[in-house]
Amino acid sequence: MSVKLTSDRNSSYSAGTVYEGGWVDNLEHEYGIKINRAGHVQKGFRTLGELVLIEIS
Does some domain include residue 22? yes
Q: Does residue 31 form part of some domain?
A: yes
Residue 19 lies in a domain: yes
Give the pLDDT of the chain (57 residues) as one tens digit per residue: 444 555 567 788 878 899 999 998 889 999 999 999 999 999 999 999 999 999 876
Residue 29 lies in a domain: yes
Residue 6, Cβ neighbours under 10 Å: how many? 12
At 3 the pLDDT is: 47
pLDDT for the residue 6: 55
Q: Residue 40 belongs to what domain range?
A: 5-48
HEC secondary structure over 1-57: CCCCEEEEEEEECCCCCEEEEEEECCEEEEEEEEECCCCCEEEEEEECCEEEEECCC
The answer to whether residue 55 sits within a structural domain is: no
Is residue 42 assigned to a domain?
yes
Task: Provide the domain count of the chain.
Answer: 1
For the entire predicted model, the pTM comes to: 0.71
Is 44 among the domain residues? yes
